[in-house]
Chains A and B, each alone.
Chain A
Amino acid sequence: MAATPKSYGLIAEFLTPADAMHAAEKVRDAGFRKWDVFTPFPVHGMDQAMGIKNSKVGYIAFAGGVTGYTSGMLMIWWMNAVDYPIMIGGKPMFSPFGAFPPCYELTILLGAFGSLFGMLFLNRLPRLHHPLLKHRRFALASHDRFFIVIETADPKYSETETRKLLESMGSKNIEVVEE
């Protein structure tokens, strides 16, 4: 890390979700890529305002569920009908009915793993450090304030122009966040 602190981006504070959302629409339309909105709760309609596509978590969870079901069926078939067949109550060695309950549970188990861990993976979490978490006002992002952060890494970023843009959206408090 360099001796002089590099700046991470500009942070603009808003008081209401409506203000933040209208600002986000403008940032989106200005064509920024590396930016984000930080809110204390998921704001309804913010995804459209930011132009975020539908989340991919569903596919990961679905893959988990399918894996759970098939591996369960294969396991039970192999254990009870192939490797250690034993006659119980006149039932078939393997029946999709009898095997259904445990396989069903495995479907859900692996599907749930898929959705939680898929979410963490897509969000690149857990991470132990984030430049924003050092910022003194950012703790309010989990309290009652709404922030828009535009990163310096964005090709359109320019210290003065971006600041002007954010000011024009009505943010009263714009600061530079250090890396």
Chain B
Amino acid sequence: MSSHSSSTSSQPAPFDLSAWRNVPTVLMVIGGIGAVAAAILDPKHAAFSYLTAYMFFLSFGLGGLILTILHHLFDAAWSVPIRRINEHLACLLPTLALLFIPILINVLMAGNDNIIYHWIVLLKEGKPDHAVTSKYPLFTVNSFVAAWVICGVVWTVLSRGLRKYSLEQDKTGSIECTRTLRRYAAVGVFLFAITLTLAAIMWMKALQHEWFSTMYGVYYFAGSTWTTLATVYLIVWLLQRQGPLREVVREKTFYFLGSLLFAFTVFYAYVTFFQYFIIWNANMPEETFFFVSREHGVWFWVSMVIIFGHFFGPFLTLLRIDVKLLPWVMIPLASWVWLMHYVDMTFNIMPVMFPEGPHVSWMDFACVAFIGGLLVKLFLKSLNAHPMFPQKDPRFAEAMDIYVPEGKLAQAVGARAAKATSGGKH
């Protein structure tokens, strides 16, 4: 089996990360205090900052969930060694559902001046406009809460279930687990599509409730998966360097993750361009106001940052085949992807409060630190509590480039051939 190690023999030593051990806790505590202070000092701005950070981090949970679901639906082999990471990311969703509570508090308890959703203010003032009444019964406070409950329950059941049977397989090796996981994924992909769209519409698009676009759910999905892929790349790289995944991650793992990141870079641009372009071309005021307000003032330059930083930069960087394997390109790029996704969320949310241009405030940092610190803490906890990769997955051998006899040969050749010949890779 020694020939596998060509990529691992020259491995650099792991980083000494012990100094960073407490960083998530510190971030969470300081961020939490900051967020509470913000909510007292300037509840409206704090809520907008919090929503931006929230929609940003929700992407990671939803991205992890869809990557896990797609892994099972596609019966993929290459992503077996990294699936546990996706599962853990998805399992942040129950927490993320709870983290929405501050927004609920804003909606239910804040004064009319501080509620971030204008349509709720209109309802509370008893003078809803046509755009609100026509959306009855979806646009009522009860439905807003109900949507949250539905999303939270669906995400919890799906993410927990997908991890539960995966972990069970680690112990038993039963292929029934694989079958159960596929059933989860089959139902899950529909529920995922519905809940993601619901969340994107109710929590982000509804900030400007007069505006509508059928592409919006796809748009949020594209950005979320893009961000998650960059994150998974970074986590896999780190875990390979630190040891836990050293033996199971291959060049192809990084290559495929990088290629998917490239594909989603293009897909995001495709979706975003056409959403803009169709509205621009039809030129109907009931739709164009959304983009008109975002081409106003400094927001215009933010939109340029998105065009060049969210698309052209990563696109041109990832165009070359070999780049996907170069950590010194990919790791900075992953951080850049986070920044761009955050800018994208800001671009969607903040113009509602600040029509003239972005206001970078300490509150933004506090909210990001709080949610980010908490989620990283939870992620590391679950990462350390379970095996790092699904060892008894029936596709594991294939993922390791070990020759697996196909079809009828499987019985004829058997495991002996598999053992004797596994070291073929140059």
Interface residues of A (CB under 8 A from B): 45, 89-91, 97-98, 100
Contact = CB atoms under 8 A, between A and B. Distances in A.
Contacts of B281: 91, 97-98
Given A91-B281, A97-B277, A98-B281, 7 more contacts: A45-B426, A89-B283, A90-B283, A97-B276, A97-B280, A97-B281, A100-B277
10 contacts: A45-B426, A89-B283, A90-B283, A91-B281, A97-B276, A97-B277, A97-B280, A97-B281, A98-B281, A100-B277
A91 B288 CA distance: 14
Contacts of B277: 97, 100
A98 B276 CA distance: 12
Interface of B: 276-277, 280-281, 283, 426
Contacts of A98: 281
A60 to B, nearest CB: 16
A66 B283 CA distance: 31
A45 B425 CA distance: 11
A97 B283 CA distance: 13
Contacts of A100: 277
Contacts of A90: 283
Contacts of B426: 45
The 7 residue pairs across chains A and B that have the minimum distance between CB atoms: A97-B277, A97-B280, A45-B426, A90-B283, A89-B283, A98-B281, A97-B281
Contacts of A91: 281
A114 to B, nearest CB: 16
A126 B280 CA distance: 48
Nearest to B320: A58
A90 B426 CA distance: 62
A97 B279 CA distance: 12
Contacts of B276: 97
A89 to B, nearest CB: 7
Nearest to B319: A62
Contacts of B283: 89-90
A90 B281 CA distance: 10
Nearest to A95: B280
A90 B280 CA distance: 11
Contacts of B280: 97
A13 B35 CA distance: 75
Nearest to B280: A97
A89 B283 CA distance: 9
Nearest to B277: A97
A91 B281 CA distance: 8
A54 B281 CA distance: 44
A45 B276 CA distance: 45
B258 to A, nearest CB: 18
Nearest to B276: A97
B146 to A, nearest CB: 40
B272 to A, nearest CB: 13
Nearest to A45: B426
B317 to A, nearest CB: 16
A49 to B, nearest CB: 10
Nearest to A48: B426
B315 to A, nearest CB: 14
B94 to A, nearest CB: 42
A98 B273 CA distance: 12
A30 B308 CA distance: 50
A84 B277 CA distance: 24
A97 B280 CA distance: 9
A99 B336 CA distance: 30
A48 to B, nearest CB: 8
A122 B283 CA distance: 49
A98 B280 CA distance: 10
A175 B391 CA distance: 53
B295 to A, nearest CB: 13
A45 B426 CA distance: 9
A1 B277 CA distance: 65
A97 B281 CA distance: 9
Contacts of A97: 276-277, 280-281
Nearest to B426: A45
A163 to B, nearest CB: 29
A167 to B, nearest CB: 26
A89 B280 CA distance: 12
A97 B277 CA distance: 7
A90 B277 CA distance: 15
A76 B425 CA distance: 52
A97 B274 CA distance: 10
B16 to A, nearest CB: 37
A100 B273 CA distance: 11
B264 to A, nearest CB: 19
A98 B277 CA distance: 8
A100 B280 CA distance: 13
Contacts of A89: 283
A61 B106 CA distance: 55
B183 to A, nearest CB: 37
B226 to A, nearest CB: 21
A26 B276 CA distance: 59
B307 to A, nearest CB: 11
A74 B282 CA distance: 25
